[in-house]
Structure 1
Amino acid sequence: MTENHHIVFDIGKVLIHYDPELPFSRLIPDAAKRKWFFDNVCTHDWNIEQDRGRTWEDAEAMLIAEHPGHAENIRNFRRTWHEMVPHAYDDSVAVMERLIDAGYDVTMLTNFAADTFGEARERFSFLKKPRGVTVSGEVGLIKPDRAIYDRHAATFGLEPSATIFIDDSRANVDGARAAGWQAVLFTGANRLERDLQALGIS
């Protein structure tokens, strides 16, 4: 087995909680109307383009032109973003910090809009502890596209076969494996520790 030198963490739903329902359960109290809004207006596909680098101004203008009656809540998606990320997963953060303290090379690879990542990094100081980070919104590439894994490996001098990637998305885990990395699907800190031990990380 190749010795594992590099450990790469995703951020959202691995190190910090993310849930757009948190503010919108207040803004659109009716569950059916709220579901319609997320299914038809501020959709996952719309939001992920900000992770790819589209500005919020352009994103909002496009949607408001299509759904003028929902203009206020379209703007509220960015306005209330801070409420969508209320806390860190302390147990996962502890795993990451322990790996750093043990001398492992730890970096991060995340689908994140550039401006909201800057906000998150100021709120959650542990995001400054790894050696570095590739932010999709800053490089114009997004998981699970092969190019962002190759970009991260080249930027930080990682040997793909000696790299372990941790992500809560099966598609992103599969993307890492297609790029020649090892990868584990994150479902919780306890399982993560067992998965890392199985890969020789203690």
Structure 2
Amino acid sequence: MIKNVIFDIGNVLADFGWERLFLRLGFEGEVFERMADATVRGPYWVEFDRSRMPDREIIEGFYSLAPEYKDQINLLYEHIHEMTEEYSYASSWIRELKAAGYSVYILSNYGKTAFENREKPFSFLSEADGKVISFEAASVKPERKIFQALEDKYGIHPKESVFIDDMEENVTAAKLYGYEGIVFKSREQTEKKLAELGI
């Protein structure tokens, strides 16, 4: 029996709009592609989410992949907290699930600097029953450690929980750990999948 609904943040409860931010900062054409490959699509980005390395070391990693774009990398870092925008339905969806008797938790990869420097905290965080963000666990999805951190913190049992994420590899991992899992495409599609689980 499902008792817990666990949400990712990026592209589920909030738009991970790195492309929009890049364009707003003036990164177009070749600059856009090189910057993306060096940062959000590159091997060092996950270290922001894990937050075990100092930011300066991660930025040096970005530099090593695009040394001619140091100024742009610095500009991106100054605005990194502006990359994600909350969806209008996020808080109300959580409230609806709670009103139906489910506990709702947040489990997300999100870097400490970007998360803590947001001008306006995500409103849905206060609606949820709890959260574990990757920098708090020094682990990222799909690693077992971050799921274990949520289980230990809130006494969650995987067999009583459904995990919702836009990344298929994270949902596949969650299923291996004993959770029900839904790959998020839209709220409507996800609600249909939840209904199939009796939620």
Q: How does the TM-score come out when normalised to structure 1? A: 0.88
Query: 1:31 aligned to 2:32?
Result: no
Q: 2:87 aligns with which of 86, 89, 92?
A: 89
State the shift of 1:66 in Å: 5.5
State the shift of 1:29 in Å: 4.4
Contact 2:5/2:163 (8 A) holds in 1: yes
Structure 1, gaps ≥5 residues long? none
Contact 2:5/2:103 (8 A) holds in 1: yes
Amino acid at match of 1:80: H
Higher helix share: 1
Equivalence for 1:140 = 138
State the shift of 1:65 in Å: 5.2
* Secondary structure, aligned partner of 1:144: coil
Equivalence for 2:39 = 42
Q: Distance in 2 between matches of 1:74 and 1:191?
A: 37
Equivalence for 1:7 = 5
* Secondary structure, aligned partner of 2:15: coil
* Secondary structure, aligned partner of 1:123: coil
Query: 1:74 aligned to 2:67?
Result: no
Structure 2, gaps ≥5 residues long? none
% of aligned pairs identical?
28
Instruction: Count residues in correspondence.
Output: 197
Q: What RMSD over aligned residues (CA atoms) do the two structures have, in Å?
A: 1.9
Moved over 4 A (4+): none
Equivalence for 1:182 = 180
Deviation per residue, 1:6-37 (Å, 9 max, x gap): 11110111001112111222434432331122
Q: Distance in 1 between matches of 2:15 and 2:65?
A: 30
Deviation per residue, 1:60-111 (Å, 9 max, x gap): 13333564421111112221224322x3222344222211233311111000
Amino acid at match of 2:173: G
Contact 1:113/1:138 (8 A) holds in 2: no
Q: Distance in 1 between matches of 2:154 and 2:117?
A: 23
Contact 1:121/1:128 (8 A) holds in 2: no
Equivalence for 2:159 = 161
Contact 2:44/2:61 (8 A) holds in 1: no
* Secondary structure, aligned partner of 2:6: strand
